[in-house]
């Protein structure tokens, strides 16, 4: 390990903490997408001082993009003295709302007891700050390095990434030859490498009925009762079947090493506000259910959908008057970067050198922006690696440990050595 690189990072702890706190002070809450532009401008100003070329890309027409809430992304690039690979650090700058239960101001950037507190501290402004410190230290220690380093601050990850990484990927920002390796500093814990995520299928199921007076339900057909039959079949057949499916993917936590499905919502009936304070007096002719099915590398999407439609089709055959429609809302295929991919071995080397142990390789139960880099950018040398404890994300009193950020920055810097200098050992 290069001692100079490590001591350079150690000497910049104050800078790292100040940078993290400053980033937290931009209340980049999504939705609606507050303070994106000033936060992006702050990141650009910092990197411009280090002679990065910076550009702002507003996702015109993306969901939520308005003049009041512009979806402003920033991409900064520093080209080394000679040609070579490009390593890209991608962080989302948006955070979820603070919610209740905080003992500190969630947007003050409070530093206490070796931690920086605030909404987004761990998810993922601490990771963004660590990647900036890592890149700057690497550039100072190796001023003649070949290749290029990119750092982006992107928006809307918490709402699907459509105005952020997906938009940039469509413009070629996450494809070869512009970029070769991508590290997303999401809070997956400092000694773990996240290789990908399970798949997602969101769908809306609607059962049909026939409207009638509530006092004479026999004259109509109740869509909510039909939905009850769907729920019943799910309880008796689908949930137990999903529970039995296990994956070889190293998904964390343990409970997510199988197929799962959440029922996000059920709505039935004409209206809950027929007359002030009174619900509809009618037999409902429609009921809707939204399901969130998470699936495994071992499953394919057609089979996943088939398990549900098979149940619905059987009800249609066996249950009088049963009819349904199903609409896809979102589909994301499961992803797992190979363990011998260059970015994986480079970061693994950093973890070995800093922590003296083998990294844990994990798969996220939910998706993140890697899906767009893979599907739209067709770039597969991508992982999530960053400081911060995953369980603290989105919670009150969210924090990131200062020493965790320092150690992660060192791992990232060693990763840069391995990827750009070929310093693999």
Q: Which part of the chain contacts Zn ion (CB under 5 A), choosing from 178-186, 232-240, 272-280, 395-403?
A: 178-186
Residue showing tokens 């962080």: 91
DSSP class of residue 299 equals S
Q: Which part of the chain contacts Zn ion (CB under 5 A), choosing from 3-11, 122-130, 190-198, 321-329?
A: 122-130
CB of 107 to Zn ion, least distance (A): 17
Is the Cβ of residue 404 or residue 417 nearer to Zn ion in the bound state?
A: 404
CB of 156 to Zn ion, least distance (A): 11
Burial class (CB in 10 A: 0-12, 13-18, 19+), 356: exposed
Tokens, residue 64: 């939520």
Which single residue brings its beta carbon nearest to Zn ion? 123
CB of 123 to Zn ion, least distance (A): 4
Tokens, residue 332: 């994301």
User: What is the number of other CB atoms lying within 10 angstroms of the CB of residue 343?
Assistant: 23
The yes or no reply on residue 299 touching Zn ion (CB under 5 A) is: no
Report yes or no: 126 and 13 within 8 Å, Cβ to Cβ. Answer: no
Cα–Cα distance, 282 to 268 (Å, whole number): 11
Helical H segments across 298-384, by residue range: 301-318, 342-355, 370-375
- 3-state SS assignment for residue 264: strand
Report yes or no: 32 and 122 within 8 Å, Cβ to Cβ. Answer: no
Give the CA diameter of the chain.
Answer: 83
Is the Cβ of residue 124 or residue 261 nearer to Zn ion in the bound state?
A: 124
CB of 298 to Zn ion, least distance (A): 26
Tokens, residue 385: 């690696």
Cα–Cα distance, 137 to 6 (Å, whole number): 9
Q: Which part of the chain contacts Zn ion (CB under 5 A), choosing from 115-123, 226-234, 249-257, 303-311?
A: 115-123
Tokens, residue 214: 């509530």
Is the Cβ of residue 124 or residue 183 nearer to Zn ion in the bound state?
A: 124
Subset of residues 18 to 77 that bind Zn ion, contact rule: CB under 5 A: none
Is the Cβ of residue 76 or residue 124 nearer to Zn ion in the bound state?
A: 124
CB of 347 to Zn ion, least distance (A): 18
Is the Cβ of residue 284 or residue 386 nearer to Zn ion in the bound state?
A: 386
Is the Cβ of residue 186 or residue 221 nearer to Zn ion in the bound state?
A: 186
Give me the phi and psi of 223, to 5 degrees please: -65, -30
Cα–Cα distance, 133 to 13 (Å, whole number): 9
Contact pick of 123, 136, 180, 191 for Zn ion (by CB under 5 A): 123
CB of 158 to Zn ion, least distance (A): 7
Q: How many residues contact Zn ion, by CB under 5 A?
A: 3
The yes or no reply on residue 124 touching Zn ion (CB under 5 A) is: yes
CB of 384 to Zn ion, least distance (A): 9
Chain CA centroid to CA 245, Å: 24
Site string for Zn ion, 127-166 (x = CB under 5 A): ----------------------------------------
Is the Cβ of residue 349 or residue 370 nearer to Zn ion in the bound state?
A: 370
Number of separate helices (H) and strands (E) present in the chain: 11, 16
Q: Which part of the chain contacts Zn ion (CB under 5 A), choosing from 120-128, 191-199, 227-235, 290-298?
A: 120-128
CB of 120 to Zn ion, least distance (A): 9
With CA atoms as reference, report the closest residue to 389 among 413, 375, 405: 405
Subset of residues 183 to 212 that bind Zn ion, contact rule: CB under 5 A: 186
CB of 378 to Zn ion, least distance (A): 23
Residue 311, CB-side half-sphere exposure with 13 Å CA sphere: 23
Cα–Cα distance, 235 to 217 (Å, whole number): 26
Is the Cβ of residue 150 or residue 186 nearer to Zn ion in the bound state?
A: 186
Is the Cβ of residue 186 or residue 398 nearer to Zn ion in the bound state?
A: 186
| Residues that bind Zn ion in the complex, under the rule CB under 5 A | 123-124, 186
């Amino acid at each position: 390990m290069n001692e100079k690189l490590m001591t350079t990072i150690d000497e910049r702890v104050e800078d790292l903490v100040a940078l993290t706190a400053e980033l937290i002070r931009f209340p980049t809450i999504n939705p609606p997408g507050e303070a994106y532009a000033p936060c992006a401008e702050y990141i650009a100003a910092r990197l411009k001082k280090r002679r990065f070329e910076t550009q702002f890309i507003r996702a015109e027409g993306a969901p939520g993009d308005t003049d009041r809430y512009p979806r402003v992304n920033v991409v900064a690039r520093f080209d080394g003295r000679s040609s070579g690979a490009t390593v890209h650090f991608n962080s989302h700058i948006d955070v979820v709302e603070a919610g209740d239960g905080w003992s500190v101001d969630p947007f003050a950037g409070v530093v206490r007891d070796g931690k920086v507190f605030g909404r987004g501290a761990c998810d993922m402004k601490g990771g963004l700050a660590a990647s900036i410190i890592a890149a700057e230290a690497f550039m100072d220690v190796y001023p003649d390095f070949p290749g290029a380093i990119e750092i982006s601050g992107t928006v809307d990850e918490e709402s699907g990434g459509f105005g952020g990484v997906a938009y940039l990927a469509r413009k070629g920002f996450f494809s070869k030859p512009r970029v070769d390796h991508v590290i997303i500093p999401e809070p997956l814990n400092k000694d773990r490498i996240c290789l990908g995520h399970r798949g997602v299928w969101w769908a809306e199921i609607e059962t049909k009925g026939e409207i009638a007076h509530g006092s004479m339900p026999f004259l109509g057909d109740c869509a909510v009762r039909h939905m009850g039959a769907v729920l019943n079949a799910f309880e008796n057949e689908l949930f137990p079947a999903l529970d039995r499916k296990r994956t070889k993917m190293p998904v964390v936590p343990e409970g997510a090493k199988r197929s799962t499905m959440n029922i996000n919502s059920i709505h039935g009936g004409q209206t809950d506000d027929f007359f002030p304070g009174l619900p509809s007096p009618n037999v409902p002719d429609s009921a809707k259910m939204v399901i969130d099915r998470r699936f495994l590398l071992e499953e394919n999407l057609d089979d996943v959908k088939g398990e549900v439609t098979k149940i619905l089709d059987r009800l249609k055959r066996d249950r009088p008057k049963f009819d349904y429609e199903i609409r896809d809302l979102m589909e994301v295929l499961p992803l797992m970067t190979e363990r011998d991919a260059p970015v994986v071995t480079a970061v693994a080397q950093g973890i070995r050198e800093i922590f003296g142990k083998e990294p844990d390789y994990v798969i996220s139960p939910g998706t993140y922006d890697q899906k767009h880099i893979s599907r739209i950018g067709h770039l597969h040398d991508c992982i999530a690696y960053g400081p911060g404890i995953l369980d603290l994300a989105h919670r009150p009193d969210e924090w990131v440990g200062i020493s965790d950020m320092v150690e992660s920055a060192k791992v990232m810097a060693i990763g840069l050595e391995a990827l750009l200098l070929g310093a693999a050992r």
